[in-house]
Amino acid sequence: MNRLFIIIICNALLLGCESSTSVPEDKLEARQAELSHKIDSLSSLLKVVERELLAKNGGASKTPITVYQSSTSLFEHYVEILGTLEADKNAQITAETQGTISAIHVREGQDVKKGTLLMELDGAIIQNNIREAETQLKFAKTVFDKQERLWKQKIGSELQYLESKNNVDNLRSRLETLRSQFNQTRIVAPFDGKVDEIFVKIGQLASPQAPLLRMVNLKEVYLNADVSERYVTKIREGSKARLEFPSLDEIVYTTVNQTGSIINPNNRTFRVVFRLENSNEYFKPNLMANVYILDYAKDSIVSIPNRLVQQDPEGKDYVYVAIPMEEDESAATAERRFVTVGKTYQGRTEVIEGIEPGELLVDKGSRSIKSGQNVRITELSDNE
C-alpha cells in the first residue's frame, strides 16, 4: 500500500507540472533532482505517519475479528434413524373354514370385547349333522347301558359289550368334531379392540385365505427402528431416546425397551423397540417418526461450533486463539492452536485436547488471519 501511495503522489506531482509545456533540455536534470527530492520528502513523511498509526493501534495494524469464549458443558451425541409405529393387537381376521357369510353382527368403528360374535357363516348342514349325531349317541348310550348291566350279570358276550362301548365313543368323537366345525362358522373377537374395517358382505363366500375384517387395539403401541450394527455395544435397553412425529408435531422422550438379539444380514442392522402408552389412541399404526438415540455423553467437556475448526494441508485440526494484550482489552494476538477433536453433533465439536475453558477463539475473521498476527476484538460471539 505504501508504494501505491507513493505512485499516487508522484502522479499528482507530475500532473501538477506544466504538462502543456515540455521542459527545456538544459533544465531536465534540475527538474529530475527537484522531483526526486519531493518524492524522498513524501516517503519520509509517509513513514512517520505509519509509525504514529502503529503506535496508536498498539504497535500493529489490527484485523477486526469476533471471538467465541470456550466453556465446559454436557456434550451428547445421538444416533438418528427412522422408525415406524405398530400395534401389538392389529390383526386381519379370517375364517377357519369355507362357507357363505350369513350374518355380520358388528359395524366399522365399533368397540368389542374378546369373544364377541362378529360374523356367522352358513352352518345349517353342520347343525343338522350335529342333531343327527346327538340322536345316534343317545340311542347308542342306551344300548351300551343295557349291555353293561347284562355284562355285569355275566349275561351276553364280551364282544357285544365292547362293540356297544366303541360305538358310543365313536359317536361322541364325531359329535365333538361336528361341534368344532360349527364353532368355526362363528367368527369371534380374539381380543378387546375396535372393528377398524370390514372387507366382506353378507352372501359372499368366506375362505381361510381371504380376510373378513381388521381389528385393532391402540391402547398400547410400539415403534420399531433399525440401527447400524456399529452401535450394538453402545445402544442397549434403557438408552435415552427422543421420538419426533412430524405429522403430529409431537415429541416423546423415552428409553429403549428392547433390542434385537440378531443382526439382519441384509442391511447389517439390529432392531430396537420403544413401547408407548396410547390410551387416547392418538398414535396410529404405520406412523413415521424421527428417532434420536443417545449413544455417547460426556459431562464437563469443551465443545465448540464446527465453524471454528480448520484443517491444515496435512489434515490436522486447529483453531485460532486470541491472546489479549494487557494494555488494551480489544487488542489481541492470534495464535494457531492444534487440537484433538472427538465427536461432532448438531453443529458442535467435542474438543478432547488443546483448548482450556475461558479461552477466546477467533470466530469471524479466522479464515483471513495468520498465526502471530495482531487483531482487534470487536464482538463476543453467542455461545450457542
What's the rounded Cα separation, in Å, for the pair 309 and 344? 11
CA atoms within 13 A of residue 171's CA, in its CB half-sphere: 22
What pLDDT, on a 0 to 100 scale, did the predictor assign at position 57?
Answer: 52
pLDDT at 95 over 80: yes
Determine if the pTM surpasses 0.85. no
Q: Other C-beta atoms within 10 Å of 280: how many?
A: 8
Residue type, 287: L
What pLDDT, on a 0 to 100 scale, did the predictor assign at position 231?
Answer: 95
Q: What angle do CA 178, 179, 181 make, to 5 degrees?
A: 65
Q: In this structure, are residues 95 and 307 in contact, taking their beta carbons and an 8 Å threshold?
A: no
What pairing do the DSSP bridges indicate for beta strands 340-345 and 328-338? Answer: unpaired
**Residue 16 vs residue 373, higher pLDDT:** 373
Q: In this structure, are residues 276 and 283 in contact, taking their beta carbons and an 8 Å threshold?
A: yes
pLDDT at 92 over 90: yes
Q: Which residue has the cell 358388528?
A: 106
3-state helix, strand, coil in the chain (%, to 5): 30, 40, 30
Q: Which residue has the cell 449413544?
A: 295
**Residue 204 vs residue 2, higher pLDDT:** 204
Residues 6+ apart with CB under 8 A from 194: 109, 110, 111, 112, 215, 216, 217, 218
Q: What secondary structure letter does DSSP report for 264?
A: B
What's the rounded Cα separation, in Å, for the pair 171 and 371? 102
pLDDT at 15 over 50: no
Of 139-153, 213-227, 333-347, the poorest mean pLDDT is in 139-153
What's the rounded Cα separation, in Å, for the pair 220 and 89? 8
What pLDDT, on a 0 to 100 scale, did the predictor assign at position 77?
Answer: 96
Beta partners for residue 75, in sequence order = 298
What pLDDT, on a 0 to 100 scale, did the predictor assign at position 52?
Answer: 62
pLDDT at 164 over 90: no
Q: What angle do CA 221, 227, 229 make, to 5 degrees?
A: 145
For the segment 202-214, the average pLDDT, to the nearest whole number, is 92
**Residue 380 vs residue 69, higher pLDDT:** 69
Residues 6+ apart with CB under 8 A from 333: 322, 323, 325, 372, 373, 374, 375
pLDDT at 308 over 80: yes
Integer CA distances (angstroms), 230 to 29, 108, 179, 268, in order: 84, 45, 56, 9
pLDDT at 248 over 60: yes
For the segment 184-192, the average pLDDT, to the nearest whole number, is 92
What pairing do the DSSP bridges indicate for beta strands 288-305 and 348-353? Answer: antiparallel
What's the rounded Cα separation, in Å, for the pair 177 and 183? 10
Q: Which residue has the cell 464446527?
A: 306
What pLDDT, on a 0 to 100 scale, did the predictor assign at position 250?
Answer: 93
C-alpha R_g of the chain: 46
Which strand (E) or helix (H) includes residue 28? helix 28-56
Choose from 42-46, 135-139, 304-308 the range with maximum mean pLDDT.
304-308
Phi then psi dihedrals of residue 256, to 5 deg: -70, 125
pLDDT at 7 over 60: no
What's the rounded Cα separation, in Å, for the pair 332 and 249? 47
For the segment 148-163, the average pLDDT, to the nearest whole number, is 81
